[in-house]
């Protein structure tokens, strides 16, 4: 659920955009971080821990941990609680190790 009209902060969300989570289109607003947009769309699992394969999601919400890492537009390990949404952004959960030998990271 998006909070469109906060009783103290007023109207903050006014520029709708579409982001894609695992290829599925979601409504977001330019004034939101990726993590806030996902939570508002009821997405709570952002990835899995490497060794124990446990669910990860929003934890500190201020860029101090690594719980919200996701792959955004092909870039691995983006702190989604700190990055604002952009129209057409493609977001994938952080599951397993990144493809460090792939085209996005050089050879």
Nearer to ligand FES (CB atom), residue 26 or residue 47: 47
According to the binding rule CB under 6 A, does residue 63 interact with ligand FES?
yes
For ligand FES, the binding residue among 38, 68, 85, 91 (CB under 6 A) is 68
Residue of 21, 17, 16 whose CA lies nearest to 39: 21
Q: Is 55 in the site for ligand FES (CB under 6 A)?
A: no
Nearer to ligand FES, 29 or 94 (CB): 94
Residue 64 binding ligand FES, by CB under 6 A:
yes
SS3 content of the chain, % helix, strand, coil (to 5): 10, 35, 55
Work out the number of other CB atoms within 10 angstroms of the CB of residue 96. 10
């Amino acid at each position: 659920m998006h909070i469109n009209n906060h009783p103290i902060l007023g109207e903050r969300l006014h520029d709708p955009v579409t982001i894609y989570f695992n290829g599925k289109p979601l409504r977001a607003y330019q004034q939101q971080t990726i993590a806030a947009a996902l939570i508002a769309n009821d997405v709570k699992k952002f990835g899995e821990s490497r060794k124990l394969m446990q669910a990860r999601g929003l934890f500190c919400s201020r860029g101090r941990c690594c719980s919200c890492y996701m792959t955004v537009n092909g870039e691995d390990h983006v702190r989604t609680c700190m990055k604002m949404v952009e129209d057409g952004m493609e977001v994938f959960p952080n599951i397993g190790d990144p493809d460090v030998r792939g085209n996005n990271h050089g050879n």
